Each structure stands twice: as C-alpha cells, then as structure tokens.
Amino acid sequence: MTSSIANQEDFNQQASNQQASKLVPPHGSKDLKPLLLKGDARKQALKLASSLPTITLSSRERGDLIMLGIGGFTPLNGFMNQADWQGVVDDMRLQSGDNAGLFWPIPITLSAPKATADNLNQGDKVALVAKDGEIMGILTVEETYTIDKAHECQQVFTTTDSEHPGVQQVLSQGEVNIAGSVEVLSEGEFPTLYPEIYKTPAETREILDAKGWKTVAAFQTRNPMHRSHEYLAKIAIEICDGVLIHSLLGALKPGDIPAEVRQEAIKTLIDNYFRQDTVIQAGYPLDMRYAGPREALLHAVFRQNYGCSHLIVGRDHAGVGDYYGAFDAQTIFEYVGKDDLITQPLKIGWTFWCNACNAMASDKTCPHEASEHVKVSGTKLRKALSEDEDVPENFSRPEVLQILRDYYAGIAREERAEVKLVGASAV
C-alpha cells in the first residue's frame, strides 16, 4: 500500500509539473530567453571581463542590459545592429536574423565614443561597465555604426526638442552604436534594494501561475497611485483575473518621486483598499524614456514577457510635458497588426472624482457637468505636495498622502524640483 501511495504521489506531481501555463506566451518565442549567467559560468565570465576593454553604460543602457539579462526583452539576444535599428525606428520591426519581421517599437542600443569604437572589430569582446565600476556584462561585437540621432528622436519621441528628457538621452549618447550579443553578469542593486517587489519575468509568471490566473492586466506606474490610478486598477480587476501593479524602479526625471517612496505608498494602498489576492505589486529595472505612444507599445511587449494579457492604458501614458495628446498612447495600438502583439490595451478614458456622484467616475459613466469633476494627475499631486499645499482627500487616500507628505517634509523647499502643469496634466 505504501508503494501504491508513493506512486500516486509521483503521478500527481508529474501531472502538476506538466500542466501548461494559462498565461500568454513570451513575445516572439515559446519560452523566455534570459541572458543572465549564473554560477561557474558567471565566475569565468567575470574573470575574462576583467581583462577586456570596457564601455561605460549610461543609466538607460544599464537598465536595458538588465532587462536583456532577466528575459524582459525576449527574444532579443543583445544590442541592435544597424538594420534592426533602422527597421525599429522607421517601421517598428526587426530586420535581421531569426527575429526578422518581429514587431518591436523602440530601439535597444548601446553607444560609445568614436575613439572607443574605432578600436573594435567584429568578434571582439568588450566588458560593459556601470558608472560605479561594476562589471555588468560582456558584449561580442557584431558591428559598429553611426546613426541620425535627430531622425531617431523624431520617429520615437515625435520631437527633436532637447528639453524632452528622452531626446536628451539620445542626443547625449556616444557617436557610434555598438551592436552585438551579450552575456549579462549582474542585476545591479535591484534584488537587494527592492527585495519584496523586484521580480524577473520568470518569477512573476511563477506567481501568476500559482494563482491560476489566465488574464492579467499590467498597471504601469512611475508615480504613487492616486484615486484615478486606483479606479483604473479596480476596473481591470472586474475584467481580468487580477492586476500586476508594475512599478518602474530605474531612473526618472527631476521632480518624480523615488521608487522606495512609491513602493511604500502603493503597498499601503493595496493593504487598505484592495481585496486580498486581486493585485500583485512588483517592479522592473528600466529607466523612463518618456516616449509616450511608442513607450506604451514597449510596455505592452515586455509585459507579455511578464505574463500579462492586457496593459492598462489611460490618459497620457508614459508622457511628459505637452509633447503628446492625452490619448495618443491608446490610438497607436490601432496601427499594430493583429498578429504583432498578444498583450492588448485596456483603453480607459478620462477618470475623475465627481462631486455630484460623490464617487470616482469616467467620461463614459458620469452624466454631470465638467464643473463637478476633479481631474487627478500624478503631476498635479506632485506639484501640490512639493509646494506644501493642501491636497483634497478625493485626490489620494489619506494613508498614501501621509507617506508622501513625510517624504517632502524631508526635502528643503529650495531643493525641491519645480513641477510644471502642462499638457494633459494641466486639464
């Protein structure tokens, strides 16, 4: 009998292991393709890297490299060559190798000074180093090439204005792009600095699978969640099995609230105002590009790798200033082919507090005049807090407001970045 029970347990375990995930597959691949080395392979690579010429990564490039490492940019195997750069910039499609024709909305590139690039040949290996000196990876050079930076900016950001933070990133990068496959050796500070929320795509999928979820909506945020954000997430919970509240953990522009403060504020909101087991709080290691519509598409691509079937796309998604219309990030999905992207947008219009309804509402549900509406934005909230103004409770939950007030109280007024209301955030 003991043997029979053991055999049954083995059978049950095998059946469990073989059960297919209900989640969407990774982008352009049946499986995730993480490029992060571990164990002895990593030790050997680090030893080799210490003897190689180096390229110092910008903050954006470092975040991109980590995403390549953890499989967030599946199926890419490194930094893009000239054909892929051109295809992505002009047509949002890769052009070379096994991934030719695959939808990809924003170039993932590495740059270097011309003097560095002139000393590199095809097949050479180069160590990729963070600004603090940490060896982050090894790149095997495929080619070096120059680009029209203004053309990239116009196509990706729809502007060449150097005041745009994403344009600034491109204009300040090295003169030459270095293409090639990568071996990633570090995830940087993210696993230790954010141990509770930093999750790789594989780890996130494991959590989602354990819950038995099939439809998952990603909520992209670089801000603490205010009442409109909360409302958007709860709409998605009504539609999907659950929501992944997915916070950007990389670098932001001046005036944005740092990740550790956002993490605490979002956790407090979840603990107090969401039903248990309907949302998961997690984070990812990219910097913001502020590319508006194109960045919304990139958000959908890598959220597919994280297992999400949907991406919540509200007002001014990934926008900055007045460079984009309030719902341009929704409209751009209409130009994506039906077979290009599995993860689909959940398009939600203006959301606001309505004084007449005495509740959160949207432009599809509320019958009252605009004079009754209190439109909330992360920019408005940051501006009020940074200037020590009163914030109405219909802007944000009181527990969240207290965390944010405590953060600003620790910054001298003269040291606080100016927050301007422009574009959709000023409405």
* pLDDT tens figures, 79-88: 999 999 999 9
pLDDT for res 19: 61
Q: How large is the average pLDDT for residues 324-347?
A: 96
- Please determine, for residue 3, whether its predicted confidence score (pLDDT) is greater than 70: no
As a whole number, mean pLDDT of residues 322-346 equals 95
Q: What is the mean pLDDT of residues 356-378?
A: 90
Average pLDDT of span 364-369: 95
- Residue 289 CA from chain centroid, whole number: 10
Residue that has been written with the tokens 């990593």 in this structure: 42
292: left (phi over 0), alpha (psi -120 to 50) or beta: left
Q: What is the sign, positive or negative, of the torsion defined by CA atoms of 203, 216, 309, 379?
A: negative
Quick one: average pLDDT of 138-166? 98
The packing angle between helices 149-157 and 82-91, to 10°, is 40
pLDDT band at 5 (very low <50, low <70, confident <90, very high): very low
Radius of gyration of the chain (CA): 23
Report residue 76's pLDDT band, with 50, 70 and 90 as the boundaries: very high
**For the residues 348-365, what does the mean pLDDT come to?**
93
Phi, psi values for residue 112, rounded to 5°? -155, 160
Give residue 420's pLDDT: 62
Q: Which of 199-203, 210-214, 417-421 bottoms out in mean pLDDT, i.e. has the lowest?
A: 417-421
DSSP E strands, 88-230:
111-112, 125-129, 135-145, 176-184, 216-221
Select the more confidently predicted residue: 380 or 236: 236
pTM score of the predicted model:
0.91
**Distant-in-sequence, close-in-space partners of 99: CB < 8 Å, separation ≥ 6:** 28, 75, 76, 84
pLDDT of residue 15: 42
Region 211-238 average pLDDT: 95
Q: What is the pLDDT of residue 379?
A: 72
- Give residue 419's pLDDT: 61
List, for residues 154-171, the tens digit of each pLDDT value. Answer: 999 999 999 999 999 999
pLDDT confidence tier of residue 426, bands split at 50, 70 and 90? very low
Compare 413 and 308 and report the one with higher pLDDT.
308
Q: Which backbone phi and psi does 57 adopt, to 5 degrees?
A: -80, 140
* Residue 18 pLDDT: 40
Strands 78-79 and 176-184: antiparallel
Location of structure tokens 């967030």: 72
Q: Count Cβ atoms below 10 Å from residue 141 Cβ, excluding itself.
A: 18
User: Once rounded to an integer, what is the mean pLDDT over residues 279-308?
Assistant: 97
Catalytic residue among 222, 227, 294, 315: 222
Report residue 9's pLDDT band, with 50, 70 and 90 as the boundaries.
Answer: low
- Single-letter residue type at 228: S
- Residue 204's pLDDT is what? 98
Q: Which pLDDT belongs to residue 415?
A: 65
Lowest mean pLDDT segment, chosen from 205-209, 374-378, 411-415 = 411-415
User: Of these residues, 81, 99, 177, 223, which one is catalytic?
Assistant: 223
pLDDT of residue 10: 46
Euclidean distance between CA atoms 351 and 363, whole angstroms = 7
Cα(374)–Cα(54) distance, integer angstroms: 52
Can 222 be counted among the known catalytic residues? yes
Say if residue 218's pLDDT is above 50: yes
275 counts as catalytic = no
SS3 content of the chain, % helix, strand, coil (to 5): 40, 15, 45
Locus of tokens 């522009």:
253
User: Are the C-beta atoms of 128 and 57 separated by less than 8 Å?
Assistant: yes
- Of all residues in the chain, what percent carry a pLDDT higher than 70? 92
Rounded Cα gap, residues 206 and 212, in angstroms? 10
Higher pLDDT, 251 or 172: 172
Contact 124, 113 (CB under 8 A): no
Q: How confident is the model at residue 416 (pLDDT cuts 50, 70, 90)?
A: low
Q: Cα angle vertex 137, ends 135, 138, to 5°?
A: 115
Residues 6+ apart with CB under 8 A from 387: 419
pLDDT at 365: 94
For the ranges 30-34, 202-206, 418-422, the lowest mean pLDDT is seen at 418-422
Percentage of the chain exceeding pLDDT 90: 79
What's the first-to-final CA gap in the chain, in angstroms?
72
